Amino acid sequence: MSDKNSRPIIGLVLVGLGLLFLLQSMGIYISETLIALVFAGAGLGFVVYFLQDRTRPWALIPGFVLLAISALIGFGEQMGSLGGTLFLGAIGLGFLGVYLYRRENWWAVIPAGTLLTLAVVAAIGESRWVDGGTVFFVGLTITFAAVFALGQRWAIFPALGTGLLTLLTMGWFTGVFEVLLPLAMIAGGAYLLWRNRKPGDTKLLEK
């Protein structure tokens, strides 16, 4: 789908949302159902734009977000606390789509994993059986492990870090980590300093 053919879709979305905000600013009453339908139409417009041009998966992000807002406006009271889960999950799925349809966009896995994890944490809420902090760090560990598996070697470090934080939030080996974690940080810092040394530094030490 060319830019010329996609302009009417984006144009209609902008006009619809603009008219809605203008009428509200003028104090004209608009029913929640109509507002929800406008947001749903705008969201579907972006989704259709993507379906007609799969090379532009970025359109999934505003598409899913607008559809989620539509659902919150129309069914917010029925959803209750799950509204936050829906909104965060919609954004996360949008970023996931950016990666799935263009695999070179590995970076999109990070916001996708983070937002989907936050959606799960929001769904758990104040559960007595599952700790939200533990779930959050587990999700981040999986996210960075996935980025590492995609060939980004640097991601192993945040994956290991969030993995350790997961164990800490679970209360495992707390006493051991109080000693090992500072030692690991010192060792890591010393290694980075050693790697960054200049060629002449070794000669000075030998003298």
- How would you label 135-149 residue by residue, b for 16+ Cβ within 10 Å and e otherwise? bbbbbbbbbbbbbbe
* % of the chain surpassing 90 pLDDT: 34
Q: Residues 2-31: what's their mean pLDDT?
A: 69
pLDDT at position 200 = 55
Nearest to 38 by CA among 62, 19, 57, 65: 19
Angle at 67 between CA 111 and CA 130, to 5 degrees: 50
Residue range 113-124, pLDDT digits in tens: 999 999 999 888
Compute the mean pLDDT over every residue in the chain, rounded to the nearest whole number. Answer: 81
Per-residue three-class SS string for 101-127: HCCCCHHHHHHHHHHHHHHHHHHHCCC
Average pLDDT over residues 102-112: 93
**Residue 1 — pLDDT band, cuts 50, 70, 90?**
very low
Q: What are phi and psi of 20, to 5 degrees?
A: -60, -50
**Cβ neighbours around 110 below 10 Å, total:** 19
Structure confidence at residue 190 (pLDDT): 81
Phi, psi (deg, nearest 5) at residue 129: -95, -25
- Give residue 204's pLDDT band: very low, low, confident or very high (50, 70, 90): very low
Any idea which of 70-79, 87-96, 140-149, 191-200 has the lowest mean pLDDT?
Answer: 191-200
pLDDT, tens digit (0-9, with 9 covering 90-100), for 39-68 = 898 898 889 888 888 888 899 999 999 999
Report the pLDDT value the prediction gives residue 126, as an integer from 0 to 100.
63
What's the pLDDT tens digit per position in 124-182? Answer: 876 667 777 888 999 999 999 999 999 999 999 999 888 888 877 776 555 555 666 67
Query: Where does the pLDDT of residue 7 fall: very low under 50, low under 70, confident under 90, or very high at 90 and above?
Result: low
Domain layout of the chain by residue ranges? 179-207
**For range 29-48, the mean pLDDT:** 84
